[in-house]
Structure 1
C-alpha cells in the first residue's frame, strides 16, 4: 500500500533561534541550512525577515545558498512583514511565506486587543497579499490548541479560500494532549468544506514533554506536515524534535500511514553542528542523537545485543549517522585532506585566507592531541566565530595558579584595542579568577547567564568546549571557546562573548511573536 508523503518543515533557524542565547550569525545559518538540504528537509524556515536587518540578511543568504529545499520566512499578518519576507526570499528556487495571527480568546483579548471578525479579516488580507508573491503560502492560527473550534473553522475556511496552501494549527504553549490534539485536526478537516485544498500542519512546543507525541497523533488524524527542529531546540522547553519524529515514522512503518524523504544518515552530524553553533549541548540520554542512545551498560542488554541486535535496539546506529565519523586526521594530514573533511561536514570558507587560518588552528590542535575528530573540526570553526567584526579583546598571555589550600590566582595579558594590558585577580576557582581579571580591565557591565562546559570528544586529551552566555541591555549573546586546557577555553569563550557585545552589529535576541 502506498503511503502519503509527510512534509518535514524545519524551523531550527527561526523558532530554534528563539531559545535565549541561541542567536546565529548569517554564516552559521547558511552552514546549518546546507546540512538540512543535504538531509533533504522539505521546507527550511530561515528566519523572521522583519525582525532585524540581520534576520533579513540571513533569510536572503539561505535563500540564495540552498537550491533543493523550499525556503520559508515567517511574517505576521501585516503588510510590511509580508513584503519584507518576499524581498528576502527573492533568490530562492522555491519559496514560501508563512504568515500568522493569534486566534485564541486569551491572545485576541489581551495581546491583539481585536475582535474575532477583525482577526479573520486581517488573516484573509495577509494571505491574499502573500499570494501576490508566491503560490506557496502557509497560514498559522497562533495558539490554535486553545482556540474556540467554531472560530477555527471560520478562519481556516477563509484562509484557504484566500489562497493558503498549508494550514498550521500550532500548540504554541505546549498545552495539548495527544488524543485531544489529534482529534481536533480530524474534526477540523471534516468540518471545513474546502479542507481538501490545503495541507494541514502541526507545530508543537514541549512545555509538558508532549511535542513529539502530539505531532505524531496529529499525523494519525490526517496531518501531513510536521514543523520541528534539530535537537528539539526552540523557545522555552523547545519544539518537536526532528530526529525523533523522523525515526518514529521510519521505525513504526506498521502504524504510520506516511513516509518522509529524509536521508537519516545525516541526522547525527547535523545535530552536532547545531549543538556546536548554538552552544546547547545534547544531553547523553537524548533519543537518537544523545551519546548514550545506542550504548548498553547492563550485562543482560549487552549479551542480548551481541546475540541479536534487535533484542534491545529498534534502530541501527549507522542509519542515523553514528559510527560514520572515524579518526582520519592528525598532525601529518595535509591541507587538501582537512579541507575535504570540512566540506563533508558542511563547512566552507569564503576565501583562501579563511581556509589557511582554519588549517593553522587545526595544526595547533594536532600538536596538542593525537586524534582529531569531526567534533573537533566543528569546534575549531565555532570557537573562532564567523562574525565579521573587529575583535576588541584578544588574549595575549595567561598564567593561572591553583594549589590545594591556596586561593587560585590568574594573571592575564589582554590586547585591548591594540594595546597590551595586564590584570591579576583571585577567585573561588581558576576560571572565576580569570573572569575577574578580565572584568577588572573591560568593566563590561554584562550579566553572566550561563557557563557550560562540554567535553567535545572522549579521552583526557579531549578539547573542552565552553559556552558563556552574557546579557547586557537586552542583548543576549553566546561566546564559545575550545581548548585542551579548560581554563584557556573558558577565557576564549568569555572574550568571544564580549567581542560580540562590543560589535556595532550586535543585536537584541530575536524574541518576537511567533507560532
Structure 2
C-alpha cells in the first residue's frame, strides 16, 4: 500500500472535543431504543449543551436508524452529525445518504484489530485488515467533512499492529483516530501510557487527533477517559447518563465536570454549556423510561442532597463546605436538605421558615422533638409532614383528606382512563367526582381539580417506595404550574396514587396560600 509523506505528533491543544454517542451506542443497548422523533428530542438537548459531534445512529443498521439520522441532520445545525459504518462500501454509502442534509457531516468507520476479533469474528489476517481500512477510507474520501476511524477492541490489540493500523487510517484520510476500550478491560495507568505511546509513534498529519471511547464494565470508563486525555487524547466519546452497551459508556456529565472542576490537574476544558447537563439527563430519562440511581454523580437525585445534621449546618453556613460545584452550574434545580432522623435543628428551622413558619423557641423545641420521633418512624419528613406537625392537620398537610380512589381503564382500539376520587373537607364534608384524562393519574388529578375548583398543570411527578421502621410508604414529589407560577411539594401515602394526590393537594394549598398573601412563591437557595 502506498503512503503519502506525513508529519508526526500534533501540537498541544487545550480543548477536548465531546463526541456524544447517546443516540448510537447508548440507544442500541437493551431497553434504550428510541423512535426517530424521540431521538430528535434528545438531539435538541445535546445541541443546547453544545456537544461538538452527535453520533445520530448507524445508518446501515435499519431503515429507522437511517431515517433518524436524516431527520437529525435536517434539524440540528450546531454540532457535527455523524453516522457509524462498518469498513465496507455499502455501509459508507448508507451513511452518506442519511447524512446528506447535514451542515457538517462525519463518517465513523470501524474495523476490529485485536487477535481475538481478527481470528474469531473477521477471519482476516493483519494484512487483510489493513487493506480493508484502506479500501473503506478511499471509498469515503471527499464525501464527508470529517472521517473518524475506530480500531475496535484496540486495548486488546498488539501495540505494534495498533500503531500500524492507526498510521494506515491516517494516511488514507482519517481526521480522528479512535482507540476504543470496547470491552472495558483497561485501567487508567495502562490507557494513559497507550495514548502517550500512540501520540509519539503513529505517523499522521498535524490536524489528526486521538479519541477515547471507554466502556464501563469495570466501573472505570470515566477514569480511563480522563487518563486518556492526560496521555494525549483530545476527543472523548461519551453518553448522557452513561448509557450504552452492557455496563454503559463514559458518562458525559461526569467527565465534563471532572475536567471543569479539576482544571488544575487536567489543564484542558470543553466548550460545553454545562447548565444544560441536568435538563438533558432528565429528558433522556423521560424518553427512555430508565430511572437514574439516586447517587448518580452530577445528575442523580442525591447529587446535591444532604441529610446529616453536621453537613446541613455546614451547608447553611457556606455551601462550599460540602459541595465542590453548584447545582446551578449543571442546571439542577438546587441543593436539598433532606429532613430525616440525622438532621439537626438548624435545617429544620430553615425549612420551616421557607414554609412560612417562624416558631418561638418553645414551639421550635416541641416541634423538633415531634419531628425527630416522626423521622425515626418514617425515615424522612416531607413538606406536607412538616405542615401537618405545625398545624396538627392530617398527614397530607392540607385541609383535604383522601378517602378513596378508583382507577378504571377501558379496553378496545381506543382505551379510555377514568378516575373516581373521594375527598373530605372539614367544612364541605365528603365530596367525590369522576373525571377522565390522558392516563389514570391524570384522570385522578382532573377529578381533584373539579372537586377543589382549581386549575393546575402537572409539569413533573416522581414517586418512589420508601422502606422505614414503620413499614413501606410511597413518597410523591410534584411540580405544578399555577397560572404561570411553578410550585413544588411532596407528600407520602400508603400507595402511589394516594401519595400523588396528597402531594397534588398540598402543592395546590401551598400555591393558593401565597396567592392569598399576594406574594410570589419563594425560590430558596436550599430547598427540600
For the 8 Å contact 1:71–1:94, the answer to whether it is kept is yes
Partners of 1:195 and 1:323 in 2: CA distance:
45
Equivalence for 1:396: 416
Aligned mates of 1:129, 1:279 — CA distance in 2: 40
Match of 1:419 in 2: none
Offset at residue 193 of structure 1 (A): 2.6
With over 3 angstroms needed to count, the CA separation of the structure-2 counterparts of 1:87 and 1:163, relative to structure 1, is: same
> 1:258 Cα deviation (Å)?
1.1
Give the match for residue 385 of structure 2.
none
**Candidates 454, 458, 463, aligned match of 1:455:** 463
Correspondence for 1:220 among 222, 225, 230: 230
Q: 1:23 pairs with 28, 33, 36, which one?
A: 33
Cα pair distance change 1:397/1:28, threshold 3 Å: closer
1:262, CA displacement in angstroms?
Answer: 0.6
2:241 to 231, 237, 252: 231
Give yes or no for the alignment of 1:158 onto 2:168: yes
SS of aligned partner of 2:181: coil
Measured after TM superposition, the shift of residue 304 of structure 1 is 1.8
Counterparts of 1:195-344 in structure 2, within 5 Å, are 196-323=206-333
Partner of 2:148: 138
- Runs of 5+ consecutive residues of structure 2 not aligned to the other structure: 1-11, 336-395, 397-410, 421-460, 467-473, 480-494, 501-528
Q: What residue is the counterpart of 1:186 in the other structure?
A: 196
User: Cα distance 1:186–1:97, how it changes in 2: closer, same or farther (>3 A)?
Assistant: same
Residues 138 and 168 in structure 1, CA contact (< 8 A), matched pair in contact too: yes
How many angstroms apart in 1 are the aligned matches of 2:413 and 2:219?
Answer: 41
Partner of 2:360: none
Paired with 2:111 and 2:415, the residues of 1 have a C-alpha distance of: 48
Q: Aligned pair in 2 of structure 1 residues 454, 322: CA closer, same or farther (>3 Å)?
A: closer
Q: CA deviation at 1:395?
A: 2.9
Counterparts of 1:317 and 1:13, CA distance in 2: 26
Cα distance in structure 1, aligned partners of 2:311 and 2:174: 50
Shift of 1:460: 5.2
8 A Cα contact 2:465 2:475, kept in partner = no
Contact 1:456–1:463, Cα closer than 8 Å, also in 2? no
Q: Deviations over 1:344-403 (max 9, x none)?
A: xxxxxxxxxxxxxxxxxxxxxxxxx9xxxxxxxxxxxxxxxxxxxxx9744336799xxx
1:163-182 CA deviation, whole Å, 9 max, x = no partner?
Answer: 10000000000001110011
Alignment of 1:421-460 (within 5 A): 455=463
User: Which of 10, 32, 35 lines up with 2:20 in the alignment?
Assistant: 10
How many equivalent residue pairs?
354
Provide Cα deviations, 1:286-318, integer angstroms capped at 9, x if missing partner: 000000001111112112222222221110111
TM-score by length of 1: 0.65
Cα 1:84–1:120 shift into 2, 3 Å:
same
Asked whether the equivalents of residues 3 and 259 of structure 1 are also in contact (C-alpha less than 8 Å), the reply is no
Q: C-alpha offsets along residues 235-293 of structure 1, whole Å, 9 cap, x if unaligned? A: 10000000001100000010112110110111001000001111110110000000000
CA distance in 1, matches of 2:77, 2:216: 31
Asked if 1:63 is matched to 2:83, the reply is no
C-alpha spacing 1:397/1:168, structure 2 compared with 1 (3 Å): closer
For 2:296 and 2:476, locate their aligned partners in 1 and report how far apart those are by CA, in whole Å. 25
RMSD, aligned α-carbons: 2.9
1:54 Cα offset (Å): 0.4
Tell which structure's C-alpha radius of gyration is larger: 2
Inter-partner Cα distance in structure 1 for 2:266 and 2:498: 46
TM-score (norm 2): 0.63
| Residue in 1 that maps onto 2:61 | 51
Q: CA deviation at 1:192?
A: 1.6
- Structure 2 equivalent of residue 73 of structure 1: 83
Greater relative CO (CA pairs within 8 A, separation 6+): 1
Moved more, 158-167 or 294-303: 294-303
Return the alpha-carbon distance in structure 2 between the equivalents of residues 289 and 129 of structure 1.
42
Taking the aligned partners of 1:460 and 1:161, their CA distance within structure 2 comes to 59
* Offset of residue 65 of structure 1: 0.6
Q: Which residue of 2 aligns with 1:420?
A: none
